Structure 1
Amino acid sequence: MVTEVRENTALERFELLSDGTPAGYIEYQDTGAERALVHTEIFPRFQGRGLANTLVEAALDTSRKAGFEVLPMCSMVQHFITENPRYIALVPQQSRAMFGLPQ
């Protein structure tokens, strides 16, 4: 299985392809220096393969490279950051408690 994540700035989302077929997306909203990741969706036939983690990681890495701090509004993104503490620094310190993340 070959996966690819593309940023679609026109729709404000990251799109996941699995073997060239759309498999899911993360919607985001940019406000100044912050990017709110608001909803993650993996299409039913692709669920259970760990693709959500691939998608979230790519969205976080791309957001970091673009200079954004991240607001993990989506529970999947919150869970991923909790499980992968190297991404906690992307969340503004004053916002971490709101998302149940360590200071």
Structure 2
Amino acid sequence: MARLVAEDTDYAGCPMKRGDKVLMAFPAGNRDPEHFDRPDEFVIDRQRDRHFAFGSGIHRCLGSNLARMELRVAIERFLDRIPTSELADADAVTWSGGQVRGPRPVPVRW
């Protein structure tokens, strides 16, 4: 996810030289309060949801629509088979940081 700086520039007081590598912190973008209402919460039915999980622009993952469909089917099947499932202990859910941000662990009971 790193990019090369094409020409010497200064962005927000941060000088960058041609050839420098810049790492785009996608998880930070996915938590931008200017683009996401309640950015630090998991909102499964969020309507405005232009996240970077599958990349962006010309580098967008070709399989993103298939992955979304697979996840939807998996969740629907899980809920059909185990409709009484619930989060066992919300305080036990911790979140990993870095490039792949997500809940670890998620205790569920049914």
TM-score normalized with structure 2 length: 0.24
The answer to which structure has the higher helix fraction is 1
TM-score normalized with structure 1 length: 0.26
Greater gyration radius? 2
Which structure would you say has the larger RCO, counting Cα contacts within 8 Å and 6 or more residues apart?
1
The answer to which structure has the higher strand fraction is 1
